[in-house]
Amino acid sequence: MSSGDHHASSSGGRVLAVGPLPPWLQAVVDKHDPLVLPGGAEREAFLAEHAASVHVAVTTSFTGVGSELMAALPNLRAVINFGTGCDSTDLAQAERRGIGVSNTPDVLTDCVADTAVALLLDALRGFAAADRYVRQGRWETEGPFRLTRKVGGTRVGILGLGRIGRAVAARLEPFGCRIAYHNRRRVADVGYPYYDSPVALAEAVDVLVVAVTGGPETARLVDRSVLTALGPDGYLVNVSRGSVIDEEALVELLATGGLAGAG
């Protein structure tokens, strides 16, 4: 595909490719004679010529269809989003205009949950840090690597008990971890203790696993108050968007001993 591939539109409207697409997805989109959104100075002229003909936009979670682009597409009917997260697309405008937005919510659930558990194990047991310690020759000059924390019996709080949060909990239970959670609403079919705020959950656990959706509603949900509630013996594991974490507070607390670790 290239931005020059602008053939005559069909009566059913055009497909617009927004941002880089995986090769296999690009091959599928190419079968529909797509328009390709250019960047930079070309975009304004391109939209002036083609915006009215676009009915479907195909994109990824990394690019999305933001508010300005969506507003420029008066006849847009659907956004096909490859990826789980939709926070790069203006969902509020899409809802107002009746534009359908699809994603691929279940494809990565197991892989993300596996990653969360791997990060938790590494944060508590220090595998990567121990590897660096030995490779740097510090074993010979500084002695054995520091003692690390046992995983079994660890109190793990899951912030966001959706598909991924549940999958994380299912993986951690066989380790003997004690699971608790906070969600926008209590989940009826689980027996884990529920806490009514992120701060309350953080105060009650040793490790906080963040598995919420991204977007404006969850921006800096894990703020300084939540991180402080975890305390100097607490660990943070984030498999959500970076925007969910107050990163300045996180870095400061890690540097000053206000948190034990993060992954």
All structural domains of the chain:
14-102 (3.40.50.720), 109-262 (3.40.50.720)
Separation between Cα atoms, residue 192 and residue 187, nearest integer Å:
9
Measured in whole angstroms, how far is the alpha carbon of residue 237 from the centre of its chain? 12
Work out the angle between the directed axes of helices 163-172 and 109-125 (0-180°, nearest 10): 50
HSE-up of 82 (CA within 13 Å, CB side)?
17
Which residues does the chain have with pLDDT short of 70?
Answer: 1-11
Separation between Cα atoms, residue 180 and residue 155, nearest integer Å:
8
Q: What is the pLDDT of residue 89?
A: 93
Hey, what are 147's tokens? 């003692």
Q: What is the identity of the amino acid at 117?
A: V
Place of tokens 């969360």: 116
Q: What is the pLDDT of residue 87?
A: 84
Q: What is the pLDDT of residue 7?
A: 42
What length is written for the chain?
Answer: 263
* Burial class, 181, CB count within 10 angstroms (exposed 0-12 / middle 13-18 / buried 19+): buried
Q: What is the pLDDT of residue 1?
A: 39
For the chain, the distance separating the N- and C-terminal CA atoms, rounded to the nearest angstrom, is 38
Separation between Cα atoms, residue 32 and residue 18, nearest integer Å:
14
To 5 degrees, how large is the angle CA 165–CA 107–CA 220? 45
Confirm if 43 and 69 have CB atoms less than 8 A apart.
no
Residue 114's H or E segment, with its range, is helix 109-125
Indicate the SS3 state at residue 58. Answer: strand
Q: Which residues contact residue 211 at a Cβ distance below 8 angstroms, ignoring those fewer than 6 apart?
A: 112, 116, 158, 159, 160, 161, 162, 164, 165, 168, 239, 240
Separation between Cα atoms, residue 60 and residue 136, nearest integer Å:
40
DSSP state of 159: E
- Backbone φ and ψ for 16, nearest 5 degrees, come out as -115, 125
Separation between Cα atoms, residue 121 and residue 29, nearest integer Å:
40
Short-list 119, 122, 140, CA closest to 130: 122
